[in-house]
Structure 1
Amino acid sequence: MRFGRKEKLSLRYVGPYEILQCVGKVAYELALPVELASVNPIFHVSMLKKCLRDVTLILPLEGLGVDEDLSYVEVPVKILDIQFKRLRNKEIVTVNVLCRIHLVEGATWEGDADMRSRYPHIFSS
């Protein structure tokens, strides 16, 4: 169910909210916040969306160095691979960089010259 303005890019769902009890076969009572006190807390099952939480994707904020505006600086840790691409007249070197917060699957390809100028310490080993 949509709440608030009915525009093209408005949110389709709000929540997630806890299910308090099952009311009948296809209706559920939800624990809604105070802002939605004017809304009836009993919803038909077709108006609800299942919320799956993957606990492996939740990272603790303590050791990440997250700022007040929820941003952080990615610090490269290791070079995983080097790739040489030949264009017509020049050769472009890119490196696969593993950052401190990401997994190996999240490593990105960056330009070699840019990485050497910004982070020379990761090329020394």
Structure 2
Amino acid sequence: MAATSSFISSLTKRLEGKVALITGGASGIGECTAKVFAHHGAKVVIADIQDDLGHSVCEDIGSSNCSYVHCNVTNEDHIKSAVDKAVATHGKLDIMFNNAGIVDPYKPRIIDNEKSDFDRVLSVNVTGVFLLEVVA
């Protein structure tokens, strides 16, 4: 019985001592991931542009396990600041979850789309992931 209890305990804290930076962590999949990572023992840094939601998620998780930094993943300086905050706060960075992403409203015809909308989606969903890998 004690071995089972110890096994279950080790599973529930399998991220103990790890530090995770989650882009887009203020809502949706990122929010759920932040909560799961914290539940499993990780210190979480949420990087997002949704400041109120990001702070709210951190309050839900608890300030001892979670912090928030404003970060637009299309901005290299924001990304560097987010990584620097994680390292300055926790001394290291173990996990980067490139979760930030956007979609535009569905338009049935390609000609109904604007190039600026397409560029914005690519900037967040593709370039943002690239920048986080390069800057970090």
TM-score by length of structure 1 reads 0.22
Higher strand share: 1
Higher relative contact order (CA closer than 8 Å, sequence separation 6+): 2
Higher helix share: 2
TM-score by length of structure 2 reads 0.21
Structure number with bigger Rg: 1
